[in-house]
Amino acid sequence: MGVRVQVDLVSNFPQIYNEAMVHIVNGENRAAERLLALSSTRAPMDDDGTLVASGQVELATDATEGAGVVYDTAYAARWHADQALVDSLGRRYSGGSNFQNGRQSHYVEEPAMENKDVLGAIIAKG
């Protein structure tokens, strides 16, 4: 007398993978929203608040592309980098601005680096 056992293995890996990717995209989008909030308190304030108001999140739709924080004014990149430059008309700008009320250049980069663990935890939570 013998014992016979039959085991059928059904793979759910595609479903698990897809669910994980959705989880990551949700986390990336939530982390980008948090970074936007952090950066908007540091972005230089122009006369009418146009720079801060232009801040927005570009939502991730794919886990490999990631979400983004964008400030969309003609001067957003220059104020973020705040480095010496010569514009197309030959005007010189020395950089090193003294922005008002503790506002600063690198207003997206620095909060991202300072809060990388928090932002990573948000992504991990999904």
Q: Is the pLDDT reported for residue 63 higher than 80?
A: yes
Residue 46's pLDDT band (boundaries 50, 70, 90)? confident
Q: Is the pLDDT reported for residue 11 higher than 80?
A: no
Q: What is the pLDDT of residues 13-43, one digit of tens each?
A: 888 888 999 999 999 999 999 999 999 999 9
Q: Does pTM top 0.85 for this prediction?
A: no
Q: What is the pLDDT of residues 72-126, one digit of tens each?
A: 998 898 888 887 767 778 877 777 777 887 789 899 999 999 999 999 999 999 8
* H or E element in which residue 30 lies: helix 13-40
Q: State mean pLDDT over 57-85.
A: 90
The CA-atom distances, in angstroms, between 13 and each of 10, 17, 19, 20, 117 are 9, 6, 10, 10, 29
